[in-house]
Amino acid sequence: MNVLVRLDFPGGSFADLLAEIEHQHLVAAVHDEFHVVLNHGDGVLQFLELADEPHHVLRLVGIHSGAPVTMVITPTENCGIFFHRADLGGSLIPATFDNVTNAALRNTTVGEFPNSVSTIEHLMAALFIAGINSAVIEIDGPEVPILDGSAAEFIQLFKGITQKSSCRRIIVKREILVKKSEILRKLPFIKRVFLIVHDWLLGRRNNGYARLTPDARGTVINATFDYPDKIIGRQAYEYIYGGTRSAANDFIKNIAGARTFGRFSEWEYLKKRGMARGANENNVIALNDKGDGTLNKLKWPDEFVRHQIIDVLGDLATSGGQIVGRIEVYKGGHAMTNLLLRKLFSNPNNYDIVDV
């Protein structure tokens, strides 16, 4: 017989809801025996006991589409992360680098339109840190929910989950380099001109790059931002994931909560053109037009570059395993990380694969 536990908690964030659940000693049940449903709109969290594998269900909105979606995450025995568009009934969508179809703008998309899913990077980073490397993610819309604009609330949902299966480590053997200019050359002419002019107006130079080199310590991400905006300026952060619990806890404590960001004026511009419809002051750091402050409070002075670590880790997770090597990202983006993976796997001499 199914058992339904309903907790009404008006207002507050998802973290507030989980804190209240933990207070009521329900967390173990959530992760071991229950089907989780979050409806963010009316502040209701529900748990439905199931006899089979644990599921994790979210009903929230995407940051760009603003459309409400329900997402069901089911761990599996088969190695790999796959999406399934429940609203379309199409085939499974592998969350792999070679199935990324749009990383040129502000997010990472897998699959061919319309059977595609966008903004997967924060979820992928959270799954990686939680040790979930095999799952089918059923979603009834085109975009992964944004939650609070970081990876923290996804990780909180997966807290305590352990997975029986394991996948592989990808050992980097040779240096791989990608320059921002390579990304621009691949864009359609009109889009390329738009981005060049856009960056020029904001005082940004298109001299970014991403470099992958051998490093036995694990997944080493060194990210640097260099923005003309005074509130950002030059920021650098390095994170090392060596497969230990302490490394995962370091990510959870110091990186996972960093939110995505953008100029408030860009936010309004994007909304008028059908993007950023789900963005608000709770899930996006909004820079003022002068670039010397934000309209909402920062968690850390360098929250911007910490968020870049989330994006890079999430995009690296599309490799289908753990990249063992050092990735240095200077003014990076989703497209650069994806091209880096494509170059890495283009030649078997670039890497070794160790099944674990």
Q: Which of 98, 99, 308 is nearest to 208 (CA)?
A: 308
Query: Angle at which helices 121-130 and 245-254 pack, to 10 degrees?
Result: 140
Is residue 38 classed as helix, strand or coil in its secondary structure?
Answer: strand
Q: Which residues contact 95 (CB under 8 A, 6 or more apart)?
A: 80, 81, 82, 83, 110, 120, 124, 137, 317, 318
Asked if residues 111 and 99 have their Cβ atoms less than 8 Å apart, the reply is: yes
Strands 34-39 and 44-49: antiparallel
Catalytic, 334? Answer yes
* CA distance linking residue 185 with residue 179, whole number of Å: 10
Residue 220 to residue 328: CA distance in whole angstroms: 8
Place of tokens 């994007």: 270
Tell me the β-bridge partners of 80: 134
Phi, psi for 172 (deg, rounded to 5): -75, 130
The tokens of 41 are what? 């709109």
Identity of the amino acid at 16: D
Q: How far apart are CA 30 and CA 38, in angstroms?
A: 12
Q: Which of 64, 84, 122, 334 is catalytic?
A: 334
Is 198 in contact with 206 (CB distance < 8 Å)? no
What burial letters (b/e) apply to 57-86, b meaning 16+ CB within 10 Å?
bbbbbbbbbbebbbbbbbbbeeebbbbbbe
By annotation, the residues acting in catalysis are 334
